[in-house]
Amino acid sequence: MAPELNMRFSGLKILKEGLTGNKGWTNHWRDPEPKKEYDILIIGGGGHGLSTAYYLAKNHGLKNIAVLEKGYLGGGNVGRNTTIVRANYFLPGNSEFYSHSLKLWEGLEHDLNYNVMHSQRGLINLFHSDGQRDAFARRGNAMINQGDDAILLDKEGVRDLLPYLDFEQARFPIYGGLYHPRGGSARHDAVAWGYARGADTRGVDLIQNCEVTGIDIKQGCVTGVQTTRGSINAKKVGIVVAGRSGQLAAMAGMRLPIESHILQAFVTEGLKPCIDHVVSFGMGHFYISQSDKGGLIFGGDLDFYSSYAQRGNLPMKEHVMEAGMTLMPMIGKARVLRSWGGIMDMTPDGSPIIDKTDIDGLYIDCGWCYGGFKAVPASGTCFAHLIATDRHHEVASGFRLDRFKTGYGLIDEEGTGSQHNLH
């Protein structure tokens, strides 16, 4: 069935369908059989892969494109995250990239004609010492210099916005917070669906249940891939598969400077609106927000063990729960309904890779560490630009693969990348 290019969402359309039994809706995207050959193949049907395909079609007018997903669209990390959108990075290389991403987020729903539930409710990073205050003041100034927004709150300023925090504790006293009003959250799976629908309406083939089992290379050039649904030829192949990047790269004979770690997230029962912002704890690495369905979504640090499992270990769960109770004791009354784990690519400097490989026609987008969701629009834009033009987008020019070989141009934002020398 061909995509219905004219099926746009609007208030009038919703009213009409509501009055006529909702019989006029069509599938949001097709389920095509893979063709024998495409100009471009994108391996990975998550947020980054779908946005790349969308911007290849929208920004560069390319049509003969397919996205290959081993499971179902949005079934990986984009369905397993804490939905946070922000542009509060400090270092050059990251700050302009995430600023660009936030601007794209702000126009995304209009662009896609799809409700991704982007809510700029504001993000508050708490600090608990004089040293942390100084560090956040520097970060806030860097954000303002980049053209974004930042407000340094004192203790009473935080209390006005977040009265439910524990301000009386002596162990981790709240000194204040860095307020990022344009930050917020979005619904993760809706982001994948919106990009999938947008790519499909522009002629992109979204092929599900199609696992890549090999990458065909001849004389240093990529020629296609082997899949569980047969071989597919292509002039260019983009790998954007989050925590599976190392496995895919190995099929092309490459060893990437990344490790795969699990980042767990937790969801409580639905509650009345009680948390209006995204809040992060400065001493226990705990962050929390409230979803559109009422559940509190929270998480913490990466699991220390390298793993391909989509669930984490109990010590980290305990750490996250303890941090939550320390910051806001009221959370102890909420029942945790479920948890999940996303597989993160961790690079040594904690920053991503968007680059060409040594194999002609093979491109890689990986290493998002714990910053993948907020980067979805910019990652897709920049990766599509690289694939289409063979030139780096200006806001992603620092995300080179060879920086880990040369040691030049490292973007070590927080000093929390994976330390390969410890294994």
Tokens 């925590």 belong to 243
* pLDDT tens column, 336-372: 999 988 899 999 999 999 999 999 999 999 999 988 9
Tokens 């208030």 belong to 11
- Give the pLDDT confidence score for residue 71 in this predicted structure: 94
* pLDDT tens column, 39-49: 999 999 999 99
> Band of the pLDDT at 169, cuts 50, 70, 90?
confident
Q: 238, 202, 194: which is closest to 64 by C-alpha?
A: 202
- Number of Cβ within a 10 Å radius of residue 8: 10
Portions of the chain given CATH number 3.50.50.60:
31-80+189-258+349-422
Residues 67/45, Cβ–Cβ less than 8 Å: yes
Mean pLDDT of 384-390: 98
H-only helix segments in 107-227: 108-112, 130-146, 155-161, 188-201
Mean pLDDT of 189-206: 96
d(CA 317, CA 279): 18
Q: 68, 31, 57: which is closest to 248 by C-alpha?
A: 68
| Strand blocks (E) in 181-258 | 184-185, 205-207, 212-218, 221-227, 230-239
* pLDDT tens column, 217-275: 999 999 999 999 999 999 999 999 999 999 999 999 999 999 999 999 999 999 999 99
Q: What is the pTM of this model?
A: 0.95
Mean pLDDT of 195-215: 97
Long-range pairs of 106-112 with CB within 8 A, sequence gap ≥ 24: 106/182, 108/191, 108/194, 108/377, 109/194, 111/198, 112/194, 112/195, 112/197, 112/198
d(CA 173, CA 32): 57
d(CA 100, CA 68): 27
DSSP symbol at 24: S
CA end-to-end span of the chain, whole Å? 51
d(CA 50, CA 56): 10
Percent of the chain predicted with pLDDT > 90: 80
Residues 48/353, Cβ–Cβ less than 8 Å: no
Mean residue pLDDT across the chain: 93
- Give the pLDDT confidence score for residue 422 in this predicted structure: 59
How much of the chain is helix, strand and coil, in % rounded to 5?
Answer: 30, 25, 40
Give the tokens for residue 203.
């002629």
Q: How many residues comprise the chain? A: 423
* pLDDT tens column, 292-326: 889 999 999 888 888 898 888 899 999 999 999 99
CA 161 from centre of chain: 27
* pLDDT tens column, 57-109: 999 999 999 999 999 999 888 887 778 999 999 999 999 999 999 999 999 99
Residues 104/395, Cβ–Cβ less than 8 Å: no
Burial 135-163 (b: 16+ CB within 10 A, else e): ebeebbebbeebebbbebbeeeebeeebe
Mean pLDDT of 372-390: 97
The DSSP bridge pattern shows strands 278-281 and 123-127 to be: parallel
Tell me if residue 108 falls in helix, strand or coil. helix
The CATH classification number of 120-184+259-346 equals 3.30.9.10
In this predicted structure, the answer to whether residue 423 has a pLDDT above a threshold of 60 is no
Tell me the longest C-alpha to C-alpha distance in the chain: 67
- Give the pLDDT confidence score for residue 2 in this predicted structure: 43
> Band of the pLDDT at 284, cuts 50, 70, 90?
confident
* pLDDT tens column, 23-41: 888 889 999 999 999 999 9
d(CA 326, CA 250): 43
Portions of the chain given CATH number 3.30.9.10:
120-184+259-346
Residue 305: phi and psi, rounded to 5, are -80, 135
Mean pLDDT of 168-174: 91
Residues 77/46, Cβ–Cβ less than 8 Å: yes
- Give the pLDDT confidence score for residue 285 in this predicted structure: 83
Tokens 């809510």 belong to 119
Q: 371, 55, 415, 104: which is closest to 242 by C-alpha?
A: 371
d(CA 53, CA 362): 15
So what's the architecture of 31-80+189-258+349-422 in CATH?
A: 3-Layer(bba) Sandwich (3.50)
Residue 80: phi and psi, rounded to 5, are -140, 65
* pLDDT tens column, 109-156: 999 999 999 999 999 999 999 999 999 999 999 999 999 999 999 999
CA 186 from centre of chain: 11
The DSSP bridge pattern shows strands 230-239 and 37-43 to be: parallel
